[in-house]
Amino acid sequence: MKTTKKKKNDEMRANYDFSKAERGKFYRPMNKGYTVHVSKKDGTIEVNHYMLAEGTVLLAPDVLEYFPDSESVNEALRSLIQLIDKVPVRKYKSHKSTAYQVAERK
């Protein structure tokens, strides 16, 4: 009995052409929700609609690097809330001057 070894080929075949491919063509943001169609053996199709739960917040990938879990995000936001309470609120917008006052006027 002969045994044949399969040739391991990690390269893409020449007949695949991705020159006109569009990256992210079917990407849809999660916050808009999505629909899943499930084909069953009896020929029926089950349609499920999914939306993010109330209060769900999506983090951008660059922010996710610093906040790996919900607790770290909540801790950071709580510290910002404490800072907001300590900073006085400006009732009126003041115009920024280009000249800076270094010392008090007498």
DSSP string, 28-58: --GGG-EEEEEE-TTS-EEEEEE-PPTT--P
- Is there a domain that residue 57 lies in? yes
For residue 56, how far is the Cα from the chain centroid?
12
Under DSSP, the state recorded for 83 is H
Q: Is the pLDDT of residue 12 over 80?
A: no
pLDDT tens string 55-101: 888 888 888 889 988 899 999 999 999 988 788 777 666 666 555 55
Q: How many structural domains are present in the chain? A: 1
- Is there a domain that residue 42 lies in? yes
- Is there a domain that residue 6 lies in? no
Q: Is the pLDDT of residue 29 over 70?
A: yes
Q: Is the pLDDT of residue 49 over 60?
A: yes
- Is there a domain that residue 79 lies in? yes
Q: Distance (Å, rounded) from C-alpha 98 to C-alpha 96? A: 7
pLDDT, greater one: 2 or 29: 29
Q: Is the pLDDT of residue 9 over 70?
A: no
Residue 60's alpha-carbon distances to 30, 64, 65, 67, 74, in angstroms, are 12, 6, 9, 10, 16
**Domain residue limits at 59:** 30-86
- Is there a domain that residue 10 lies in? no
Helix or strand or coil: residue 22? coil
- Is there a domain that residue 9 lies in? no
- Is there a domain that residue 14 lies in? no
